[in-house]
Amino acid sequence: MTDAEGPDAGLPPDREDVVAALLAHQRRFLAFVERRVGSRAVAEDLLQTAFARTLEKGGALKDGEGAVAWVYRLLRNALVDHHRRQAAEGRALEVEARDADGATDDLELKGAVCACLTELLPTLKPEYAELVRQVDLEGRAVPDVAREVGITANNAGVRLHRARLALKRSLERGCGACAAHGCLDCSCKPRR
């Protein structure tokens, strides 16, 4: 293979030593990240992003050693961001689990749910209506429903929040004062 056919073919001269330095340290970078995230796939994703950002910076990096230091800085920042995201997801799932554990099975309360709610539920987007039905009316846990539907628990939580807001607005428009008090003693006339 000639120099023109090598992995650095077509790169400007100021990037050839940067690419060579990145490739020479690739295993060390990967081990550095993998030890901290515990997943080879996540480590590879974070490293790939760092490599791409380093190559974008290209000419601003004077040599290969500067690129290595730059990649380590990017990887440290990426690890902090990754762990923050993981912690936020964990907190959100804990809240949902607590809410699901605290859900009451009081039959009288379930029977007192406003009839307007069941009439307005079909007016929501189908995926929103299904989440409200399964989580709020049937008392199922958000992560379980999300798994069945094929979305993340976070995505399901966002959809459920939006569904509840849309349903609340519809109830307030349709029921007025009774909706303001939680619809427990609904005095609305059934719609037909």
Indicate the domain borders of the chain: 12-95, 113-184
Phi and psi for 104 in degrees, rounded to 5? -90, 145
Specify the amino acid at residue 102.
G
Q: What is the pLDDT of residue 4?
A: 43
Q: What is the pLDDT of residue 119?
A: 79
Tokens 């060390």 belong to residue: 28
Q: What is the pLDDT of residue 45?
A: 93
Token digits for 142? 């958000």
Q: What is the pLDDT of residue 2?
A: 40
- 105 and 139 in contact (C-beta within 8 Å)? yes
Task: Determine the longest span between alpha carbons in the chain, in angstroms.
Answer: 85
Q: What is the pLDDT of residue 185?
A: 57
Helix (H, G, I), strand (E, B) or coil at 87: helix
**Class of 12-95 in CATH:** mainly alpha
Instruction: Estimate to the nearest angstrom the gap between the alpha carbon of 1 and the chain centroid.
Output: 45
Q: What is the pLDDT of residue 34?
A: 93
Q: What DSSP designation does 190 have? A: P
Q: How many angstroms separate the CA atoms of 92 and 84, rounded? A: 12
Token digits for 62? 């004077």
- For 113-184, CATH gives 1.10.10.10
Q: Could you tell me which of 140, 182, 123 has the C-alpha nearest to residue 131?
A: 140
b/e per residue 62-94 (b: at least 16 CB within 10 A): eebebbbebbeebbeebbeebeeeeeeeeeebe
Low-confidence ranges of the chain (pLDDT < 50): 1-11, 104-109, 112, 192
Specify the amino acid at residue 92.
A
Q: Could you tell me which of 7, 44, 12 has the C-alpha nearest to residue 29?
A: 44
